[in-house]
Structure 1
Amino acid sequence: MTFSDLGLRAELLRAVEAQGYTTPTPIQHQAIPAVLKGGDLLASAQTGTGKTAGFTLPMLQRLADGPRPAARQIRALVLTPTRELAAQVGESVADYGRHLTLKSHVIFGGVGQQPQVDAIRKGLDVLVATPGRLLDLQQQKHVDLSKVEILVLDEADRMLDMGFIHDIKKILRVLPEKRQNLLFSATFSNEIQALANKLLDDPAMIEVARRNTTAELVDQAIYRVDREKKRDLLAHLITRHDWQQVLVFTRTKHGANRLAEQLSKQDIPSMAIHGNKSQSARTKALAAFKTGDLQVLVATDIAARGLDIEELPHVVNFELPNVAEDYVHRIGRTGRAGSEGKAVSLVCVDEHGLLKGIERLIKRDLEKRIEPGFEPDPDAKPEPIENGRGKRGGGGGRNGQGQRRQGQASGQRRGGDEARAPRRQRGGRGGSRQA
C-alpha cells in the first residue's frame, strides 16, 4: 500500500514524497479514504501514528476539488488544545499543500492578535486555532466562520480535559449546520463518546490502538528511588548511558524550572517549557531540542502536548502524572512511527498509588529497577503530592485522579494560558503561509 493507492491528487503526492514518506501508517490508510468520502469521522490513535497527515491530506484534497468561492473565506477549521500542536498542524497544512493554491494561517494566544487579524482579513482557506484565541477574535467580529465546510477537533480528549468544552460549544453555534466533522482523540473516553454523539452524524469509526494502550515499541521501566535522590539519579542515568534528546516530565512549572537549572549546573544542557514561558522562549527551547543542541527538555504535560519530535529516544517521568491517562500521552512521545524508544519513571514512596493506577489502566505490571547507589529507604513515609495547581493530593483517592478532576466539571480551564491571551496584549508575530 502506497499513498498513491489512497486516491490523493498528484500535488499532494509530490508533497508527501518531499517529506520522505512512502507508506501510509495504519491511521492514514483508514482515515484518508474515509475523509475523502465526505462523511463524519471518529478516530482514535496514539500520538506518533501519523494522524495529522491522516486528516490534513484529505482535507486539503476536498478543498482543492470543491467549488472555489469568489472571495477567499475560511472553509476548513482545525481546533487544537495547545499552541505547540496548533503550530505543528499549521506546518503540516503548509508542507502538504505547498503545490496547491490554498492559503492557511495559525492563531493562538500568548502573542499579539493584530498580525493574526491582518492575516485573516486578507482571506484564508484553512484556519488552525486554539479555542480561546479563536473565540476572542470571533466575538470581536474579526473571524467569519459561517462558510466552514470541514471542522477538525484534534486531540479532543485533551481539549475536554483542559476545560475547553464551553468554548467549543460556543464555536459550534456559529458554524454552519451542514459541514463535515472529524474528531481525533488519543482515547475513546466516555466524555469523548458523549461529544461524538452530539457532534457527529453517522460517523465512520477508526480505532488503531486498543483503548488506553501504550506503544508496543516503548521499553518501559520504573526506578524506585527516594524523592530527594531523584535529581541525582536522573543526572546519573543520563550521564552513564549517554542519553541524548531526553524529554523529562515534571508535575509543576516551578519543578520544571528548578530541575532544568539543577541539571544545567551538572553540565547537562537543559531548558524548561511550560505555560508561564513566553512563546518565543518555548519555540527557542523546542528548536534547540529538535536539532540536538539541547540535551534535555523539561516540560509540564500541557506544554508538551503535541510536541512532534521524530525518533525521540528517551522520555523520563521525573514525577508520575496525577491522572493515569497522562502516562500514556507522555510516553507516546517516544517509540513513534516504528522507532524504538525508552520510557523511564522515577518513582518514590509518595507515588505508589499513582503507579498502581497506571498499571491498572495499561493492564500490565511495569518492570521495577533499583540503581546501585540509589537504593530507596524501606522505612520512608509517603507525603502528599502537589497536583500542579498549588494544592495537595494525588497519592490517594481514585487512582490518584480525584484532585485533578475537581473544578473542571464546571468548565474551569486548566492551563488556560495555552490558548487565550489578554485582548489588550500587543506584539508578537503570526505568519501566514501558502498551503
Structure 2
Amino acid sequence: MSFEDLGLSAPLLKAVAEAGYTAPTPIQAQAIPAVLSGGDLLAGAQTGTGKTAGFTLPLLHQLSAEPPRHPRVIRGLILTPTRELAAQVEECVRLYGKYLPLKSLVIFGGVGMNPQIDALRRGVDILVATPGRLLDLHQQGEIDLKHVTHFVLDEADRMLDMGFIHDIRKVLAILPPNKQSLLFSATFSDEIKALAERLLRSPRVIEVARRNATADTISQKVHPVDRDRKRELLTHLIQSQDWHQVLVFTRMKHGANRLVEYLEKQDVSAMAIHGNKSQSARTRALAEFKAGTLRVLVATDIAARGIDIDQLPHVVNFELPNVPEDYVHRIGRTGRAGAEGEAVSLVCVDEEGFLADIERLIKRPLPREVVPGFEPDPHAKAEPIQLGRRVLNGSPRPGQGNGHAAGQSRGQGQGNGHRGGARAAQGAGPAGGQRPRGGGSGRPSQGDAGRPARARGGR
C-alpha cells in the first residue's frame, strides 16, 4: 500500500514524499481512511508507530477541502498532555501542510502568553495545545472554540496519568457537540473507555501492536564518556573501527551542525539533515549516504524518519533521546531483514536517567563498555540539559542510585519520568520538535505539564 491509495490530496502527497515516506505504517493505513470517512475514532497506538501522521494528514485534508473562512477561525483542535509533544505535533502539521493554505499554532505553558495571544488574534486554522494554557487563554477570552469541527485527544492515557481528567472535561464542555472526535491512547484502560464513551459517538476502533522491543539482530552497547569528550570518542570509534555509513543522532539541529563541522575537521566526511536544510540539500545528503560516498549522516529524530537504508551497519546515539520509544525507533534503522547491525550510545552522566527509562522500556539492561583512554570522570556531577528555553534533567532522581531512576523534565513534578521529557526540544523544523515561540518565561500555565501532579489529582 502507498499513501496514494489512502485518498489524500496532491499537496499532502507531495509533502509526504519530500519528507521521505513511501509507505504508510499500520496505524496510518487504518486511521487515515477511517478519519477521512468522517466518523469518530478510538485508536490504540503509542509513540513510534507513526500515529501523529495518522491524524494530522487526514485532518489537513479535510480542513483544506472546506471553503476558506474570513477571518480565520479555529476549526481543528489537537490536545496533548505535554508542551514538548504539543510542539512536535504542530511541527508535523506544518511539515505535512506546507503546500496548503492553512495556518497552525502551538500553545503551552512555561512561556509568555502575549506572543501566543498575538498569533491567535491574527487567525489560526489548527490549534495544538496543552490543557492548562488552552483553558487559561479561553478564560481570558482569547480563544474561540465554537467553530471547532475536528478534535483530537492525543496520548489520552498519559493525560489521565498526569491528572488532566478535570481539564479534559472542561475542554469538552466548551467544544461544540457536532464535531468529529479522535482519541489516541497507548492503552485501553477502564478510564480510557469511560472517557471514550463520553467523547466519541459510535467510533471505529483500531489498535496496532506496541513497539517497545528491539530486534535481536541489533548489537547494542553503551559507552560511558564525559560530555565534553563525546565528539572525540565518536571520531575515534569511526576511524579506529573503520566504520562507514554511520547514522548519528543528536537532539537539536545546531548540535548536528557543530558535530558535522568537527568531524569534517577530523577528515571524516559528514553532512547533517534537519529543518534548516533545503530539500535539495537533504536529498543530496541522503543520496550520498545511501551510495556510500558519505561516511556519516547526522540527523535529528524527525528529519531521520524517512531514512530507509538496507543493511545500514551503524547507528550512534550521540545524545540519548529523552523519550525512550525514540531509542527503539532510532536503532530500528539497523539490523533489518535479518541483517546484523550495531547501535552504540555515547552516554554522559547527565543522561543516566534517560538510559534507565530506555532499559525499563526494552526490559533489559544495555551492556556498558568503557573505551580505553575515554574513561569518564567518576566524580562528575550531572548537569541540566539546556535545550532552547527548556531545561531537561536527565539525571536519576535522588535516592534511586546508579542511574536507574526515571529521567524527569524539570518543573514537571509528575511520575512517569520520561512521560514529560522534552521531546520537542530537539530543534525547530522537520529536524525536531520546536522551541517555544515568542520567548518569555511567564509562569507555567495552570494545568500544563509544569504543574505538580499532587495539585491536579494525579498519582
Alignment partner, residue 329 of structure 2: 332
Q: For 1:192 and 1:420, how far apart are their aligned partners in 2?
A: 34
Q: 1:410 to 1:43 in 2, by over 3 A?
A: closer
Alignment partner, residue 223 of structure 1: 222
Q: 1:14 to 1:149 in 2, by over 3 A?
A: same
Equivalent pairs counted in the alignment come to: 391
Alignment partner, residue 361 of structure 1: 361
Q: For 1:70 and 1:18, how far apart are their aligned partners in 2?
A: 30
Q: For 2:126 and 2:170, how far apart are their aligned partners in 1?
A: 20
Q: Which runs of 5+ in 2 are unaligned?
A: 269-273, 287-295, 385-391, 426-434, 443-459
Alignment partner, residue 90 of structure 1: 94
Q: How far did residue 144 of structure 1 move?
A: 1.0
Query: What do the CA deviations read for 1:235-266 (whole angstroms, capped 9, x no partner)?
Result: 4224442566521469xxxxx98xx7999499
Q: 1:287 to 1:400 in 2, by over 3 A?
A: farther
Q: For 2:361 and 2:331, how far apart are their aligned partners in 1?
A: 19
Alignment partner, residue 431 of structure 1: none
- How do 1:5-404 and structure 2 match up within 5 A? 5-8=5-8, 23-37=23-37, 38-47=39-48, 49-63=49-63, 72-79=72-79, 81-95=85-99, 98=100, 103-108=102-107, 120-121=120-121, 123-129=123-129, 134-135=134-135, 137-154=137-154, 171-184=171-184, 187-188=186-187, 193=192, 197=196, 200-201=199-200, 203-210=203-210, 212-214=212-214, 216=215, 219-225=218-224, 231=230, 232-240=232-240, 241=243, 246-248=248-250, 264=262, 267=265, 309-311=305-307, 316-317=316-317, 326-333=323-330, 335=332, 343-346=343-346, 358-359=358-359, 361-363=361-363, 368=367, 370=369, 373=372, 388-389=392-393, 393=397, 396=400, 400-401=404-405, 404=408
Task: Return the letter of the residue paired with 1:39.
Answer: D
Q: For 2:234 and 2:179, how far apart are their aligned partners in 1?
A: 49
Q: Percent identity?
A: 41
Q: 1:386 to 1:161 in 2, by over 3 A?
A: farther
Quick check: 336-345 or 51-60, which moved more? 336-345
Task: Return the letter of the residue paired with 1:93.
Answer: G
Q: TM-score, normalised by structure 1?
A: 0.61
**What secondary structure sits across from 1:90 in the alignment?**
helix
Q: Which runs of 5+ in 1 are unaligned?
A: 251-255, 270-281, 299-303, 426-435
Q: For 1:309 and 1:18, how far apart are their aligned partners in 2?
A: 11
Q: How far did residue 190 of structure 1 move?
A: 6.1
Q: How far did residue 31 of structure 1 move?
A: 0.7
Q: How far did residue 398 of structure 1 move?
A: 12
**What secondary structure sits across from 1:32 in the alignment?**
helix
The answer as to whether partners of 1:6 and 1:33 remain within 8 angstroms in 2 is: yes
Q: TM-score, normalised by structure 2?
A: 0.59
